[in-house]
Amino acid sequence: MAKIGDRIKRTEDRRFLTGAGRYVDDLQLARCTHAYFLRSPHAHARIKSIDVAAAKAAPGVVEIFTGKDVADSKVGSLICGWVVKDKHGQPHKAPAHPAIALDTVRYVGDTVAMVIAETYAQAKDAAEQIAVDYEVLPASIDPVKTLDAGASQVHADVPGNLCYDWELGEKAKVDAAFATAAHVTKLDLVNNRLIPNAMEPRAAAAEYDRGTGNYTLYTTSQNPHVARLVLSAFVLGIPEHKLRVVAPDVGGGFGSKIFIYADETLVVWAAGKIQRAIKWTAERGESFMTDAHGRDHVTHAELAMDKDGKFLAFKVDTIANLGAYLSTFATAVPTYLYATLLAGQYTTPLIYCNVRAAFTNTAPVDAYRGAGRPEATYLVESIVSKAASEMKIDAAELRRRNFIAPDAFPYQTPVALTYDSGNYAPILDQAMQLADYAGAAGRKATAKASGKLRGVGICSYIEACGIAPSAVVGSLGAGVGLWESAELRFNPTGNLQILTGSHSHGQSHETTFAQIVSDKLGIPMDQIEVVHGDTSQVPFGMGTYGSRSLPVGGSAIMKAADKIIAKGKTIAAHLMEASEADIVFEDGTFKVAGTDKAVPLGQAVFAAYVPHNYPSDKLEPGMDENAFYDPSNFTYPSGTQICEVEIDPDTGVVDIVNFVAVDDFGNIVNPMIVEGQVHGGIAQGVGQALLENAVYDKESGQLLSGSYMDYCMPRADNLPSFKLGYQVTPCPHNPLGVKGCGEAGAIAAPAAVMNAVRDALAQVGAQDRIEMPATPRAVWEAIHAQ
């Protein structure tokens, strides 16, 4: 029997590693056509005319749709599902987002026409014959300049390109605290724009059944039920019960596959129109252009301290780039998922944050691994390290002085959240020990002797995951609840299916979920099948993002398992002619305490399906229980990362020589899987800090980093072997005591790396001249700038 805490190899790996996974593009639908989307080559232009006549006559073409066809058939605007109210209580600006541009294109990659043909090549050939007459307009690309008076307008109905001007905290009190400060540290920083780069590009395949009027959409979704809800209730009007959404094996998402995009929407809509199946898989170049990007903040922050370095108040002013249209959860990311994390691990009593969200002629920006929390962590942990160096206090010591004490939980922060649990100092201690923090000065001196600059950086992060208590997010503007569903469906022979509303696209749910049920019910792993991703198989569920699957989805599974045990107990009591009160459930068996009478769970299951001798007066037959779990709070994983770098000042190359991460994820179900999540997260965080950058030409709005020739993904040789450690304070409010581990690496690593880079550059006075990504060029220029 698997136990919680065992390092069990991933059961899904055999399938994935032998090429037996089944992704959307692998599906063979009968009489399938293929779609190609003609995309805007301009960042901003008026479409004067589109002539599709020649293209329609091209070989193999089945149909071509333009923005007019979509509008004529009353397809709704793509929606943003989170209403953020501005400073004055007004809802954010929500400009229309047609699935195909009607008369204006607003970013390079905006959809202009959908070409459907017998083969993909024919669709692509035909698209070249579509004549679009554009009037090119000036583009607003820079998130700061787009808010300037006179900037080119992205949407006519959004004056000044301002989506909202939002605030959290009490400004007057914060200002008053600043007036009493012994020292104020100021920081300007840019959180660079990232492109998610899931290994599998987005894809959609849809069919329409003329006989029943049912639609099926196979798509790369992290949340197929949410996709169905949005498509049904808001965009296409296909009733939910007539639309099945299936997300089969999905090769990575990192947030980018949460959202409901134009392409997938059009594929299902058009399948109904042409009454034939349609398939579309993004080319890598389209992924670069049209997957929702991540981050992209410009921030000024100030931290007020007393003479001992105690934080008195924190003030933040951020401009967040939302791109040309609002993606599905775009508004929430730089507000409720960002400003609420600005207390970090510290007792800072007063915090004020102002966020202005801006439209630009760039791809939409939305949640990307960490979503808001990496932005908050990078800011807090950068300014804390800067403050330490200004105050001449050791960076670890300054953190320690300001940590929330272990006996202060639950801890109410000034930015809305109530931290449930944590114990930060032992994490920092362990990280310092693993990193040999004490020996850093010696290593710096040795490096200096050979002309290298060494630096050490700390990041002590907090995050809120296990998203989320429905009533809380509802009060903040979310359009959905964020509970999760589960069903445990036994078969008469004693094996079972776990049906979950979570979705695995790399997170190893098939192993972890089976493991917790194996532990709880005493059933071997190979008797358990995890089913997810099909709206016609699993109960309505909210999907996977925000490190929620185990804390929320796993909790729902535990609740359903409790119902199985309760029902089994009644059956066992009946079979053993014992009182229910005397029965205990241990190692998969119901026993009468103090006797040798026992009924294995399998026998109770069999009795439930073949109820010849059964407590029919008390129970229905069958062993199939479902549960919905709505968390009572977020979970709050925390940890400390310490990064050590060595910089070659001749070339600007930053070499990570040591990387330590100590995390408190609460209880750990499968340490191997957790390590994998941490490794991947750190790799992405290092990518943001040193390598990755989505760059648009500031004038033309062309994506300059539109392929792997120019967009630098982290590779194995960019990374050292990580040293990991754990501290455990179980989550007090979910049945597994788990907190979530999917995003922590990516949340913390940028600050750890950049604090190390700045520490190294401080030796040549260049610490304030570097932004992410600290590429060789950027580092060299920082060193050599006068």
- Note the residues at the interface with other proteins (CB under 8 A): 121, 124-125, 285, 650-652, 691, 693, 695, 704-705, 708-713, 775-777, 780-781
Contact 482, 473 (CB under 8 A): yes
Query: Considering the complex, what minimum distance in angstroms separates the CB of residue 648 from other proteins?
Result: 9
CB of 121 or CB of 566, closer to other proteins: 121
Query: Max alpha carbon distance in the chain (Å)?
Result: 89
Cα dihedral 168, 542, 421, 419, rounded to 10, equals 10
Query: Considering the complex, what minimum distance in angstroms separates the CB of residue 513 from other proteins?
Result: 36
Distance of CA 387 to the CA centre of its chain: 30
CB of 124 or CB of 145, closer to other proteins: 124
CB of 652 or CB of 701, closer to other proteins: 652
Name the token pair of 291: 């997957």
CB of 55 or CB of 564, closer to other proteins: 55
d(CA 236, CA 220): 18
Burial of 664-679, coded b for 16+ CB within 10 Å and e otherwise, reads bbbbbbbeebbbbbbb
Query: Considering the complex, what minimum distance in angstroms separates the CB of residue 707 from other proteins?
Result: 9
Query: Considering the complex, what minimum distance in angstroms separates the CB of residue 713 from other proteins?
Result: 8
Query: Considering the complex, what minimum distance in angstroms separates the CB of residue 30 from other proteins?
Result: 27
What's the half-sphere exposure (Cβ side, CA atoms, 13 Å) at 164?
A: 26
> Looking at residue 552, what DSSP letter applies?
I
> Looking at residue 400, what DSSP letter applies?
H
CB of 124 or CB of 242, closer to other proteins: 124
Query: Considering the complex, what minimum distance in angstroms separates the CB of residue 702 from other proteins?
Result: 12
Residue 427 amino acid letter:
I
Contact 702, 675 (CB under 8 A): no
Query: Considering the complex, what minimum distance in angstroms separates the CB of residue 638 from other proteins?
Result: 32
CB of 205 or CB of 774, closer to other proteins: 774
CB of 405 or CB of 704, closer to other proteins: 704
Query: Considering the complex, what minimum distance in angstroms separates the CB of residue 710 from other proteins?
Result: 5
Cα dihedral 634, 635, 636, 639, rounded to 10, equals -150
Token pair 């294995």: residue = 600
Query: Considering the complex, what minimum distance in angstroms separates the CB of residue 122 from other proteins?
Result: 11
Name the token pair of 30: 């009968």
| Contacts of 449 by beta carbon, 8 Å cutoff, 6+ apart | none
CB of 81 or CB of 687, closer to other proteins: 687
Phi-psi region of 280 (alpha: psi -120 to 50; beta: other; left: phi over 0): beta
User: How many other CB atoms are found less than 10 A from the CB of residue 682?
Assistant: 27
Query: Considering the complex, what minimum distance in angstroms separates the CB of residue 362 from other proteins?
Result: 16
CB of 102 or CB of 695, closer to other proteins: 695
Beta strands in 690-761 (DSSP E): 723-726
CB of 113 or CB of 736, closer to other proteins: 113
What's the residue count for the chain?
Answer: 786
